[in-house]
C-alpha cells in the first residue's frame, strides 16, 4: 500500500490535534498503509524560525515529504488560519514538495466560525505546493475530542463517522488506478 506522512502542526505538547491524527493513523495502518508521524513541534525551533534549510532535522523532514505517497496535514486553527508552526515548516519545503501527492487536510478548533480555514487558508497553500489531489478535508470541534487518561482520544460519534469517511476517501484516492486491459 501507500506510505503516508501524518503531519501535526500543533505547537502544544498536549495537543488534541496531534492525538486525533495519531488516532486516525491507526485507521490508515489497519487499511495496510505505512504511516509515518511527524510532529512539527519536535523540530528545532531555531531551524524553523531561522529558515535553516541545512539543519539535519529539516533535511530529514523534507526527505519524509519526498518519500510519501500521501500526506495528512493536521492543524489547530488560530485566528481563522492554520498554525504558524505549520507555516514555518511549509516555508522550508521545496515549492512543489507535494507534487504528485494526495493530501488530506484536517483542522481542529474551538468554534465552527473557523470551519472555512481549511478551504480558504490551508487548501490554497497545499495547492500551490503542487498537490496532485487534495481530498475533502474535515474540521473537528475541540469539544468533540476527549483526551483519555492513557493519551488516546475518543471522538464524538458524529464527528468520528465524518472523519472515518474522509480518511477512507483519502485511502481510496491513494490506490493505484489500473486501466482496464485491452484485448488484442
Residue 141 lies inside a defined structural domain of this protein: yes
- Whether 33 has a pLDDT exceeding 50, the answer reads yes
The CATH number of whichever domain residue 156 belongs to comes to: 3.40.50.360
Express each pLDDT in 46-65 by its tens digit: 999 999 999 999 999 999 99
CA distance 56 to 73: 22
Which is nearest to 103 in space by CA: 70, 59, 54? 70
Is the pTM higher than 0.85? The answer reads yes
Residue 182 lies inside a defined structural domain of this protein: no
The predicted pLDDT at position 184 comes to 45
Residue 184 lies inside a defined structural domain of this protein: no
The predicted pLDDT at position 14 comes to 86
- Whether 140 has a pLDDT exceeding 50, the answer reads yes
Q: What is the mean pLDDT of the chain?
A: 93
Q: Which residues fall within 8 angstroms of residue 162, CB to CB, at 6 or more apart? A: 138
Residue 180 lies inside a defined structural domain of this protein: no
- Domain residues for 92? 3-174
Residue 164 lies inside a defined structural domain of this protein: yes
Express each pLDDT in 95-109 by its tens digit: 999 999 999 999 999
**Could you give the angle at the alpha carbon of 73 between the alpha carbons of 70 and 75, nearest 5°?**
175
Number of domains in the chain: 1
Residue 130: strand, helix, or coil:
coil
The predicted pLDDT at position 1 comes to 87
Residue 125: strand, helix, or coil:
helix
**Interstrand relation of 102-109 and 133-134 (parallel, antiparallel or unpaired):** parallel
CA distance 59 to 163: 31
Q: State the average pLDDT over residues 113-136.
A: 94
- Whether 4 has a pLDDT exceeding 60, the answer reads yes
Amino acid at each position: 500500500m501507500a506510505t503516508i506522512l501524518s503531519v501535526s502542526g500543533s505547537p502544544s505538547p498536549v495537543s488534541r490535534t496531534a492525538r486525533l491524527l495519531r488516532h486516525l493513523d491507526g485507521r490508515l495502518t489497519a487499511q495496510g498503509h505505512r504511516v509515518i508521524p511527524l510532529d512539527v513541534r519536535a523540530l528545532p525551533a531555531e531551524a524553523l524560525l531561522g529558515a535553516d534549510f541545512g539543519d539535519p532535522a529539516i533535511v530529514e523532514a523534507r526527505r519524509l515529504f519526498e518519500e510519501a505517497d500521501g500526506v495528512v496535514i493536521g492543524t489547530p486553527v488560530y485566528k481563522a488560519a492554520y498554525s504558524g508552526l505549520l507555516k514555518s515548516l511549509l516555508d522550508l519545503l521545496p515549492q512543489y514538495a507535494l507534487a504528485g501527492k494526495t493530501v488530506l487536510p484536517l483542522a481542529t478548533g474551538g468554534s465552527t466560525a473557523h470551519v472555512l480555514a481549511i478551504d480558504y487558508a490551508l487548501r490554497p497553500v497545499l495547492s500551490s505546493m503542487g498537490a496532485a489531489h487534495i481530498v475533502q478535508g474535515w474540521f473537528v470541534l475541540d469539544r468533540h475530542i476527549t483526551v483519555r487518561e492513557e493519551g488516546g482520544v475518543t471522538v464524538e460519534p458524529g464527528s468520528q463517522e465524518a472523519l472515518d469517511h474522509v480518511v477512507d476517501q483519502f485511502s481510496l484516492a491513494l490506490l493505484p488506478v489500473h486501466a482496464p486491459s485491452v484485448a488484442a
